[in-house]
Structure 1
């Protein structure tokens, strides 16, 4: 089987193109897609605990810490102590952070609207069904990967 004939190759290949597309847009605003993605995942009303952002986005703590530090230095977020648990830091958007979040949201909407306009409702439904199957199979941990004489997963 050639790499380009595998499901994981196609997903990774598409994601690299999507990521590059978003980074090109973000660069025009002197930021990165990762920063925009963090802004999109912060609750508008209550903020979001810093410890909840990483898992929510599938991001490692060190990468997230670097992005949060950068966003804070640009005045896009503030860190506040949790009202009842002082060990928890809540990340909140500033007024400028709300503006940058909206710019990121508009970019995501425009991208999705454009791609969706190229698909039939049936194609879109099938796409979501296939992605959900892939995620469920990975989450179930029922996929067994075998090498000669060994089970790797």
Structure 2
């Protein structure tokens, strides 16, 4: 492609970030998906399993597999929701909380490195543009029949 499309730049950037996160996570025997799940679970009150998928943008099958792996590794435990017996709450174990702290450190280290290299006004413009792209997609006005 002679010119890079917007989706190419976004996709290539995200793929590079995902690869970097997976490399860091592998040092602790983990994955980016596991780290993201750890960061999405409320460390004090737990999180309903049904709200994790939308929060993480994961399909039910992938989320189910990730949660099963996390449970097998002793990162999480499932308990019935006392307010709704039909649903399950996901809680972090002590090990899960330690790994959550590690995941948080990895994300913040990346964030600090980017902020150190890119001027604040450029980052603000980037976030503004990304927000407008997400709004455009959410409006469903791109592919109108």
**RCO (CA 8 Å, sep 6+): is it higher in 1 or 2?**
2
Aligned residue for 1:87, secondary structure, equals strand
Q: Could you give the per-residue CA deviations for residues 53-86 of structure 1, whole angstroms, max 9, x where no partner exists?
A: 0010100000001110111111110000000211
Question: CA separation of 1:65/1:38 partners in 2, compared to 1, >3 Å: closer, same or farther?
Answer: same
Aligned residue for 2:58, secondary structure, equals coil
Question: CA separation of 1:80/1:3 partners in 2, compared to 1, >3 Å: closer, same or farther?
Answer: farther
Aligned to 2:40: 41
Per-residue deviation, 1:4 = 5.0
Aligned to 2:4: 5
Aligned to 1:148: none
Question: CA separation of 1:77/1:4 partners in 2, compared to 1, >3 Å: closer, same or farther?
Answer: farther
Unaligned regions of 5+ residues in structure 1, if any?
Answer: 146-150
Q: Distance in 1 between matches of 2:91 and 2:26?
A: 23
Contact conserved, 1:4 with 1:10, CA < 8 A, in 2?
no
Name which one, 1 or 2, has greater alpha-carbon Rg. 1
The two structures have a TM-score, normalised by structure 2, of 0.96
Matches within 5 A, 1:44-63: 44-63=43-62
Q: Distance in 1 between matches of 2:62 and 2:33?
A: 9
Aligned to 2:120: 121
Q: Could you give the per-residue CA deviations for residues 13-55 of structure 1, whole angstroms, max 9, x where no partner exists?
A: 0000000000000111011110011000001121110010001
RMSD: 1.1
| Paired residues, number | 145
Question: CA separation of 1:3/1:16 partners in 2, compared to 1, >3 Å: closer, same or farther?
Answer: farther
Q: Distance in 2 between matches of 1:87 and 1:3?
A: 54
- 1:31 and 2:30 matched: yes
- 1:66 and 2:43 matched: no
Q: Which runs of 4+ in 1 moved over 2 A?
A: none
The two structures have a TM-score, normalised by structure 1, of 0.92
Q: Distance in 1 between matches of 2:79 and 2:139?
A: 37
Question: CA separation of 1:89/1:4 partners in 2, compared to 1, >3 Å: closer, same or farther?
Answer: farther
